[in-house]
Amino acid sequence: MTLLASAPLPLSLLLVLTAGLTAQERIERTIPVAGDASIRITNLAGTIRVRGWNRDSISVTATIPPGGGSFFLGGRDRIAKLGVYTAGDTLGAPGSSLDVRVPRGAKVWVKSISAPVEVSEFVGELDFLSGSGSLRVEGTPLRGITAESLEGDIVVIGSAGYTRIRSGTGRVTLTHARNDVSVITVEGAVVLEDANLAHAHLETVSGPVTCEGKVEAAGTLDVQTHSGDVDLSLPSDFRAEFSLQSLAGTVASAIGPKTALPPKGRPLQFQVGGGGSQITVRSFKGRIRVLTH
């Protein structure tokens, strides 16, 4: 007597079952919105890509694997929301991908837990929140950016009217940063390249801080660390007032007086070029260096 359980399944049936298990759902949707609409985007795991365009509408292409959650898109005029909903907002579901086109001047809020986010061709305001997901913003100047990730790296290439970034262990890299900048991390490195700052506050517990660029006349740069080393690279003809202090670390400057440094732990204070910008660096035990370029 032959047992049914031991009979092999036909190949055609196996193919159907396999396709059903692996098939992804592809969704394409478009809705009209105002050019300055507030748009909320949520995708906890997977990937998110946001691009601006010169249309008063939102266009989304979503790819959702089996069990990945359900897609939603709604709103009109100046308010809209979209994304992938997973019951209980857990990360047990497979990751989905979102490719979103939004009006270039919109205000966009993006939430993920592990999904990395890429933003380009956008000039509005961006607000980003994630657990371990990274953020990369590249292209045209933004009105403003606020970003927070516990573990993900944050990269912004381009200027913004204001920049507010918080990170735990993730590295923060700003290239061509302008205007008002605030970056606070716990362990993550802070790197500014080709900066032209009006007012900047850079703070970390143990992450290193590197800032290459300049501060506008009458502008301010304030750097604080506990154990993180600080390297500033400034123009040789820079005009500024400096106050540099590390209680247990070393302080060295290629700008300013060549006389003996003050006793360890005391601030090194001096002017160059008659003064102008205010540069203040404080650390408990990190090394401080000021270089020229």
pLDDT at 92: 58
Determine what percent of the chain is predicted with pLDDT higher than 70: 89
More confident position, 21 or 100? 100
- Return the pLDDT at 236: 82
Task: Report, as an integer, the average pLDDT of 165-186.
Answer: 97
What digits encode the pLDDT tens for the residues 121-162? Answer: 999 999 999 999 999 999 889 999 999 999 999 999 999 999
pLDDT above 70 for 110: yes
For residue 8, is pLDDT > 80? Answer: no
User: What is the model's pTM?
Assistant: 0.89
- 252-287 pLDDT per residue, tens: 999 877 655 677 778 999 998 887 899 999 999 999
Express each pLDDT in 35-74 by its tens digit.
999 999 999 999 999 999 999 999 999 999 987 789 999 9
What are the two backbone dihedrals, phi and then psi, of residue 56, each rounded to the nearest 5 degrees?
Answer: -90, 65
Residue 6: per-residue pLDDT:
45
Output the pLDDT for position 153.
Answer: 98
Contact 139, 79 (CB under 8 A): no
Mean pLDDT over 106-131 rounds to 96
| pLDDT tens-digit readout, 206-244 | 999 999 999 999 999 999 999 999 999 999 888 899 999
The predicted structure's pLDDT at residue 266: 86
